[in-house]
Amino acid sequence: MSATSQWFRRMIRLAAAVALASAACAAYDDLVWKPDGRIYDKPPQCVDIPDDLRLCYNVGYSQMLLPNLLEHETMAEVKQQASSWVPLVHKNCHSSTQVFLCALFAPVCLDRSIYPCRWLCEAVRDGCTPIMEAFGFPWPEMLNCSKFPEGDMCISMTQPNTTETTRPTGVSDICPPCDNEMKTDTMLEHMCASEFAFKSKIKEVKRENNDRKVILQKKKKLLKAGSLKKKDLKNLVVYLKNGADCPCQQLDNLGHHYLIMGRKVDKQYLLTGIHKWDKSSKEFKKTMKKLKTHKCPAFEHVFK
């Protein structure tokens, strides 16, 4: 049994004991659920976490409350919104990212709603915001840490007043858009986080403040246009956000063609993914084939 699973079982037993000991607690079927002052048409139901809810299927418990603590009233809505966060969990920006998100997307079945602790939110936010910003996404308002409680009756995985913004042991500090050079899942995640994609060589890389400025050769093969116009493509320059000092092997050897992905944030084009264009790689060929039918989660509905 994983440490996460063991912890959740202990938390469930503790919270259940507190709930049973309180004379003020009503029976579960009679609950009137009012998270953030909102009244729902029906009380929450305890339902199985489906195996295609990838964010929380293996979090350590098998059932969740619906509606959840983010006001999603149907499982279809939960799946759509939660799918956008799976790549962030894979980035290992904080050891409790999954626990924090699943406490909201798929809250454990208890007699009362238990939110994540404010300091847990702050720790995950501080650890993951640099990763999100590298892809042009801010920490969303719906996860504003001031909304969450301070005290004993909240969900946590680490001790308060501690800082855990470093990555777990064994996880590389490589620039987020540059990691896992030939992993199909990562390439698809980078593509989904991007507005445009094209094949190109790189002419020059310069340091500009805390970013890296990537100057491309003029000849490019457009694969995904997004909001990118042809006139923009010719002299396009992309920036590796906060990437002046982190390793990016792809930018060390400029002799190859690359699959380059990006997003426009404000007036700047950000590099969200870069992978060597290598048709001899089975992973690369598999990815290019999957791109034709791969359905991306709707990031724009989540990061706002």
Q: How far apart are CA 104 and CA 116, in angstroms?
A: 8
Q: What is the DSSP string of 146-171?
A: GGS--SSSSB-SS-TT----SPPTT-
Question: Cα dist. 15→8, 28, 154, 233 in Å?
Answer: 10, 14, 10, 56
Q: Is the pLDDT of residue 22 over 50?
A: no
Per residue in 111-164, pLDDT tens? 888 999 999 999 999 999 988 988 888 999 999 999 999 977 899 875 555 444
For residue 259, CA distances in Å to 87, 159, 192, 198, 233 come to 19, 42, 14, 6, 14
**Contact indicator for 158, 120 with CB cutoff of 8 Å:** yes
Specify the residue for token string 């698809």.
188
- Statement: residue 212 has pLDDT above 90: yes
Q: Which residue type is seen at 278?
A: D
**Radius of gyration (C-alpha) of the chain in whole angstroms:** 22
Q: Which residues of 157-192 are buried (b: 16+ CB within 10 A; e: fewer)?
A: bbeeeeebeebeeeeeeebbbbbbbeebebbbbbbb
- Give domain limits for the chain: 3-147, 176-296
Closest CA to 11 of 119, 110, 147: 110
**Check whether domain 176-296 has CATH 2.40.160.20, yes or no:** no
DSSP conformational letter for 177: G
First-to-final CA distance of the chain:
36
Q: What is the mean pLDDT of residues 103-109?
A: 95
pLDDT digits (tens, 9 = 90+) for 56-76: 998 889 999 999 999 899 999
pLDDT band (50, 70, 90) for residue 266: confident
* Dist. CA 44–CA 178, nearest whole Å: 42
Q: Hey, what CATH topology would domain 3-147 get? A: Frizzled cysteine-rich domain (1.10.2000)
Confidence band for 208, pLDDT divided at 50, 70 and 90:
very high
Q: How far apart are CA 30 and CA 185, in angstroms?
A: 44
Our CA dihedral for 174, 304, 79, 49, rounded to 10 degrees, sits at 80
In whole angstroms, give the CA distance from residue 58 to residue 198. 35
pTM score of the predicted model: 0.71
Question: Running DSSP on this structure, what letter comes out for residue 181?
Answer: T
Structural contact between residues 196 and 224, judged by C-beta atoms closer than 8 angstroms:
yes
Question: Whose CA is closest to 126, among 108, 90, 100?
Answer: 100
Q: Is the pLDDT of residue 16 over 80?
A: no
Give SS3 for 44: coil
Angle between helices 118-134 and 97-105 (to 10 degrees): 110
- Give the number of other Cβ atoms within 10 Å of residue 21's Cβ: 8
Residues 60/9, Cβ–Cβ less than 8 Å: yes
- Preceding omega of 138 cis (within 30 degrees of 0): no
Using DSSP, state whether 238 is helix, strand or coil: strand
Question: Which of 56, 33, 57 has the alpha carbon at shortest distance from 45?
Answer: 33
* pLDDT band at residue 274 under the 50/70/90 scheme: very high
